[in-house]
Structure formats: structure tokens, C-alpha cells
Amino acid sequence: MNSIEPSRKRRGLAEIQLLITGFKSSGLSKTDFAASLDVHPLSIDRWLWITQQTQPTQLPQPTHSIASQNSPTFVPVHRTPSASASSVDLPEIVAPSGWALRLPSGLDPSTLRSILDILPRC
């Protein structure tokens, strides 16, 4: 007679985030929390890693901000004329530290999203 083992349950990101929130607030060890869910303790480690990878990067708060904690902080944007008359006027991202990233025209949205995701780490 063939025995059929149950397949592993695949959990979505929302469920994983809820489980990790429950784990952190439970006060239990990884081993005890895993046992309560009938999963291997390494699953807890994997879920912790997944939730850390999906959290947005926290940007440092400016020390001289006049904005309250609940309102957004804005950085002034200044448009300057192109250095050369023959150059095309392209969109540009300028960081407060002074570096600039000139974006090509026709940039597809997925590439732009990838660039914007990386910028907080620069």
C-alpha cells in the first residue's frame, strides 16, 4: 500500500507577515512557536527573512526639518537649463547630496520602479 504524504502548505506574504507578528508578540521561542503551528523551526527563520526583505528601507530623518512627525518631508527640486543647446531636455533626479541621475526618454515603468527602489540605499 502506498502512503501519501501531505504536501507542504504554501503561505502568501500577508499570512507570513501575520505569523511573524504573532511570533514576535507571543514571547515564545522559535522552537515552541513552530511546534504550536506544527512546522519546522527553520520555517520561522525563513519567514523572518522574507518579512525583512519586503519591508521598505527606512530613510534617515533630517535633523533640521521643520515638518511635524506626521507630515511628509519634501526636498526642493530645481530645474536648471541644459548645459548644451543640442542636448534633449531629459528628466533628472538630483539627490540632496548633489549627485544627479539623468533618465533617458522612453524609460519603461518597471525599470524606473527598480531605479526608485535602489535610490534610498545610495
The pLDDT value recorded for residue 96 is: 72
Q: Which three cell numbers stand for residue 29?
A: 521561542
Q: Which three cell numbers stand for residue 67?
A: 515638518
Task: List, in sequence order, every residue forming a beta bridge with 94; answer none if it has no partner.
Answer: 100
| Annotated domain spans of the chain | 13-54, 92-121
pLDDT tens column, 98-118: 777 777 777 788 887 887 777
The pLDDT value recorded for residue 86 is: 42
pLDDT tens column, 78-88: 666 655 544 55
- Mean pLDDT, consecutive 10-residue segments, the chain of 122 residues? 64 86 89 90 90 71 56 68 54 75 78 77 66
The pLDDT value recorded for residue 91 is: 74
**102 DSSP assignment:** E
Do residues 34 and 44 touch, judged by C-beta distance below 8 A?
yes
Separation between Cα atoms, residue 24 and residue 46, nearest integer Å:
14
